[in-house]
Structure 1
Amino acid sequence: MIAAQDQTDIGDGLRATLPLAGRTLIEHQAGLATAAGAAHIVVLVERVPAVLAQAIDRLRRQGARIEIARSVADAIDRFHPAERIMLVADGAVAAQGAIDALADEAGVALLALPDTQDYAAFERIDAAERWAGYALMDKATLEATARMLGDWDLSSTLLRRLVQADAVRIDALDPSGERPLPPPVLAIGPAAIGPIEAGLMRRADPGEGNWVELHLHRLVAAPLIGPLIARQIDQRLVAYAAVGIAWLAALLAGCKLFWGAALLLPIGAATASAAQRMTRIWGGVAEPAALTALARHAAALAVLVLLTRLLAAEGGWGWWLVAALLPAALAGAAALDVVVAAIRPVPAPRWLASGDALVWVAPLLAVLGGWRWMLAALTVYAVLSFLERFLTAWKSARICDI
């Protein structure tokens, strides 16, 4: 249950609708709760401004089961008696690891912070700790609190009852005792959103991938993320744009404008990477991710076929064999990746070929050696990647046999 209380000094009066990475704070809060296992979300709010209604509609389109309750009694009616209820205080955001640790508790529990000046905005529990804005309880506790609520604030009253019930206190900064987490944030105004948005933006950079994703796309695609999310561009539209750019390249190749195609394909790859990075910020899938990737690679394959037809007309049918080895080697390497992962997971070398790696390398090779040497070099690159995966799979199988 997410509390969204009126605040007189914030925009439309709701912290929940503060802008965050192109969306709203409540969408981030709902995403954290869903990732921790929340089956459905109840937003406790007296009024629903247009921005909040739009945010809830977006969450529903993404598959979230979310309801609006205008009063505490209304909220109680929306929970099953056996359900455990996670309360999220107005504007509170904690690290996913801390929320997961709270959700794993069997009884009543809450996230706690040390009573220091850094966390002065959070409500005090006692002389030593403050409440981080997240609590876990059952429906009976919520009902008992509602009966005595009167004019008191729900979150504060629930906190007092949980403390009196000796609720388990979980350290919001390091619940496991092994790795410190980002500190919770209480979004009391737009300035407080900064740390949350910075954390979301860090999600955009993948922690793994080949050299193109880790280096080239970080330089080319990453700078696009800020402007795109600031304009609230849907990541699916960006993914579709990547497909359109790739097929425009195929159209240029059909007109024998291969230099235009060679330049557009890397742009399409960078655009697709931007869509994937946008998806990582908010979770979910850049629908339909597999289909758009397939369509984009099909366009690159069409360019390859058109180029090979030109080279074969000038240099003989052998170029068809060279060209056929390229997608075959890529497909074989991808299949062997699955085999290696099933036998003994081994991190793949960064240098391995991929569709995006080939389209980025192709223009440089064409400049250095022309179209023939470009095609031959790309095929050698793909075949070497296949051989590396084959040897890794073979060695992994031998180790397992031993």
Structure 2
Amino acid sequence: MPLAALIAAQDQTDIGDGLRATLPLAGRTLIEHQAGLAIAAGAAHIVVLVERVPAVLAQAVDRLRRQGARIEIARSVADAIDRFHPSERILLVADGAVAAQGAVDALAGMEGAALLALPDAQDHAAFERIDATERWAGYALLDKAMLEATARMLGDWDLSSTLLRRLVQDDAARIPALDPSGERPLPPPVLAIGPAAIGTIEAGLMRRADPGEGNWVELYLHRLVAGPLIGPLIARQIDQRLVAGVAVGIAWFAALLAGFKLFWGAALLLPVAAATASAARRMARIWGGVAEPTALIALARHAAALAALLLLARLLAAEGGWGWWLVAALLPAALAGTGALETMVAAIRPSPSPRWLASADALVWLAPAVAVLGGWRWMLAALTAYAVLSFVERFATAWKGARIYDI
């Protein structure tokens, strides 16, 4: 059955413009994070239940729509009900509630009515009580029939609280919000009732910026160079696509310098472009599925680096013979082959790749250092050898994996 989401946004007289949904969060708003959680859990479309629509909320909804989300605004419960299909399961998100993605995914994967539950502890006192031992984490799964039945008896009661009571009375399944799989604890849910709660959510989002695995450049070098840029960029609400575009512009300016034989300028600017692109990727990672970067931008930046490489090869070939064209051609070929083999290895025997493997960003960072030590010829030869060695390692791994699979 398809999944939809209903996000409640109630008036709160003591918060900003009166809506928790519009509280600022990592350069955007709380409701954009809530929508992102629902989309990542499989929600095909989202309905926001809100009586009035301040400008900040309208802008947040517009941003989500530009990123491809199907999102609508309903001014009343009856209006919201009309926007759901009878066959849809509805993921209910209480006003200001944020849970870990793993917990939301576990709830969305349930067959029947269910809700996320928390132990009745002092740390969770802001959440609504279910009974003497548990509290509601603000997320529930129900169908349109239950939503309609609850609306008929609603009166002046709060929709989320009334739905919770109906779910409890119907013995809805309770999913532990802190450890739904029973394998590893998740960050606890947060109810955005003030700046401290928003700070907790934002800190969790910012931790997404650092990748847990990948190439040595992204893990170590870009963490030092690009990492400090994330906070200021997000605070100024700069779109990560603009940052990625700046990275492409820097890369092509480097290629232009190479066209005028200013190879030192190109060699120094290409790492700057790589770090800027890393900052854009990290910003997109914070917002997950609602702000994914495009492969076309990365391709445009790599094309600029390839253009600079070809210009250098032309210079070296004019001075030292056509063999330098072969060396230069081998470098991107080895990188492309390594990437293709990486996909094969992941399909045969999923395991973390060695962090030392060559990548386009690793090569542009190494280029200036090697050029200082040995000049442009040694630089090109060393980078090509590095790329070929990475290809050989991936080929050997793929070969061994294929033989084990055959056995």
Asked if the contact 2:36/2:290 (under 8 Å) is kept, the reply is: no
Whether 1:382 aligns to 2:392 is: no
Asked if the contact 1:2/1:44 (under 8 Å) is kept, the reply is: yes
Among 266, 271, 276, the residue aligned to 1:271: 276
Deviation at 1:106, TM superposition (A): 2.2
Report the residue type matching 2:240 in the other structure: Q
Alignment-derived partner of residue 49 in structure 1: 54
286 and 183 in structure 1: CA distance in 2 versus 1, 3 angstrom threshold: closer
Alignment-derived partner of residue 81 in structure 1: 86
* Deviation per residue, 1:164-211 (Å, 9 max, x gap): 222222211112222111111000122211111111111111122111
Asked if the contact 2:285/2:291 (under 8 Å) is kept, the reply is: no
286 and 157 in structure 1: CA distance in 2 versus 1, 3 angstrom threshold: closer
Q: Which moved more, 1:246-255 or 1:383-392?
A: 383-392
Whether 1:252 aligns to 2:295 is: no
Asked if the contact 2:229/2:279 (under 8 Å) is kept, the reply is: yes
Q: Which moved more, 1:140-149 or 1:284-293?
A: 284-293
Alignment-derived partner of residue 288 in structure 2: 283
Give me the identity figure in percent.
Answer: 88
Q: Which moved more, 1:150-159 or 1:286-295?
A: 286-295
Instruction: Give TM-score, length-normalised by structure 2.
Output: 0.95
Asked if the contact 2:284/2:293 (under 8 Å) is kept, the reply is: no
Please list every run of 5 or more consecutive structure 1 residues that lacks an aligned counterpart in the other structure: none
Among 146, 160, 169, the residue aligned to 2:165: 160
Among 335, 340, 344, the residue aligned to 1:330: 335
Q: Which moved more, 1:179-188 or 1:389-398?
A: 389-398
* Deviation per residue, 1:49-103 (Å, 9 max, x gap): 0000000111111121111111111111222223222211110111111112222
Deviation at 1:154, TM superposition (A): 1.5
SS in 2 for 1:205: coil
Q: Which moved more, 1:308-317 or 1:124-133?
A: 308-317
Question: In 2, Cα distance between the equivalents of 1:313 and 1:26?
Answer: 59
Whether 1:309 aligns to 2:314 is: yes
Deviation at 1:332, TM superposition (A): 2.1
Alignment-derived partner of residue 201 in structure 1: 206
SS in 2 for 1:98: helix
SS in 1 for 2:90: strand
143 and 27 in structure 1: CA distance in 2 versus 1, 3 angstrom threshold: same
Whether 1:339 aligns to 2:344 is: yes
* Deviation per residue, 1:291-311 (Å, 9 max, x gap): 122211111111112112222
Asked if the contact 1:276/1:286 (under 8 Å) is kept, the reply is: no
Asked if the contact 1:124/1:131 (under 8 Å) is kept, the reply is: yes
SS in 2 for 1:306: helix
Deviation at 1:312, TM superposition (A): 2.2
Alignment-derived partner of residue 3 in structure 2: none
Report 1:93-112 matches (<5 A): 93-112=98-117
Cα RMSD of the aligned pairs, angstroms, is: 1.6
The number of equivalent residue pairs is: 402
Please list every run of 5 or more consecutive structure 2 residues that lacks an aligned counterpart in the other structure: 1-5
Asked if the contact 1:250/1:300 (under 8 Å) is kept, the reply is: yes
Q: Which moved more, 1:65-74 or 1:138-147?
A: 138-147
Deviation at 1:288, TM superposition (A): 6.3
Deviation at 1:318, TM superposition (A): 2.4
Deviation at 1:343, TM superposition (A): 3.2
SS in 2 for 1:39: strand
Question: In 2, Cα distance between the equivalents of 1:104 and 1:265?
Answer: 45
36 and 265 in structure 1: CA distance in 2 versus 1, 3 angstrom threshold: same
Whether 1:64 aligns to 2:69 is: yes
Deviation at 1:286, TM superposition (A): 6.2
* Deviation per residue, 1:23-60 (Å, 9 max, x gap): 11001111111122222111110000000000011111
Deviation at 1:236, TM superposition (A): 1.2
341 and 112 in structure 1: CA distance in 2 versus 1, 3 angstrom threshold: closer
Report 1:141-180 matches (<5 A): 141-180=146-185
* Deviation per residue, 1:233-272 (Å, 9 max, x gap): 1111111111110110011111111111110000001111
Alignment-derived partner of residue 363 in structure 1: 368
Asked if the contact 1:204/1:281 (under 8 Å) is kept, the reply is: yes
Alignment-derived partner of residue 302 in structure 2: 297
Instruction: Give TM-score, length-normalised by structure 1.
Output: 0.96
